[in-house]
Amino acid sequence: MSKVKDFNAAWKDASTSQSSPSRDSLAKRPISPTSPIGVMRKAAQTPMPSSAVNYGDRIQTLLASECVPSQITDRLPYEADPSFEALKESIKNDGQKVPILVREHPTQTGKYEIAYGRRRWAACLSLGISVRAVVQALNDEQLVIAQGLENHERKNLTYIETALFVRKLSKGFTNEVVAKAIGASSKTTVSNYRSSIRALSNELIELIGPAPEVGRPSWTELSKSVENAQVGEEAAASELITMLQHEDCRGLDSNARFKACVQYFALPKGKTMEANNLKLEDKSGNPIAVLTVKDRELKVKLTTPNRAKIREYLASRIPELLKEI
């Protein structure tokens, strides 16, 4: 993948800085007028042309159905998003004031891939109207950098959305490109994002959702809890996914779903008896079974000659007991 001189110039200070600047200082950093964001800003101040054009960096009017989101998503869906509804209402009443940035889709003829402005596009699509867009020739690196920078300029991605975006980008781009895409001055920041969710799968994160109230320390702690679970990392992750797929969890908002995962590891361990075993006897004192309790495991070893009958009875009753619990 070729490097882009404009982006290298725009982010030279960021890539050579020895300290991590604040988010405010990142937002104030000069943007090259020839970069995708610079072009969008210039185009937004340009009057709407009398007719659509097929070249250059001027605003065009496109069918919303002709545009598709970037293949690397940087947002997780919200159960209810009042800000999106407000955006739709604003566009409905006052029109789309800020254009989106797109490129001609590299594999789908007649389609445009969105670099940024996905929410504005989604609002126009939902309203059944055309979308104002700047069409620019972008390579893959420029696309993801522009996509990431817009969201980080607006500061409206949650921590986990950024971390997941970093993970996805890291599969196809260098740490340098990923750092530019999230507005970071150091490649160490990229590594920190990845390590903070190391034990959390994409599926698990997507089931939890954006969790806007949850920051890096809590996500890191959850990842460590999964990684160090006594039942094993894979089993713990599987149990969390099963829990989140339950209808009781699906009805919660994403912050509450995250808390449910944390509480899973805070549950009191199973009480242990001598040697973790409890011997069960019938009324006559004859041994029936040995009950073994160990953390989240419960084992029953039948020791009675009538074990076939008892096994059949337990197998039929356990599902009902679990439902009662």
Tokens 């990845």, residue located:
194
Two tokens, residue 290: 């040995």
User: What domains appear along the chain, each with residue ranges and CATH number?
Assistant: 5-193 (3.90.1530.10), 199-266 (no CATH), 274-324 (no CATH)
Residue 199: count other Cβ atoms within 10 Å of its Cβ. 20
Count of residues for the chain? 325
3-state SS assignment for residue 116: strand
For the chain, where are the alpha helices, taking DSSP H only? 5-10, 12-16, 23-28, 36-44, 82-94, 118-127, 140-154, 159-170, 175-181, 187-196, 202-208, 216-227, 233-245, 247-250, 254-266, 307-324
* pLDDT the model gives residue 59: 87
C-alpha span between 143 and 160 (Å, rounded): 21
Kindly report, residue by residue over 314-323, the tens digit of the pLDDT: 888 888 887 7
Give the chain's mean pLDDT.
Answer: 79
Question: Is pLDDT above 80 for 288?
Answer: yes
Question: Is pLDDT above 50 for 55?
Answer: no
Which run of H or of E encompasses 291? strand 287-294
Kindly report, residue by residue over 207-226, the tens digit of the pLDDT: 999 999 999 999 999 999 99
125 to 19, 39, 143, 281: CA distances (angstroms): 42, 24, 21, 69
C-alpha span between 318 and 227 (Å, rounded): 30
* pLDDT the model gives residue 296: 61
Per-residue pLDDT band at 41 (split at 50, 70, 90): low
C-alpha span between 26 and 106 (Å, rounded): 31
Question: Is pLDDT above 60 for 133?
Answer: yes
* pLDDT the model gives residue 156: 72
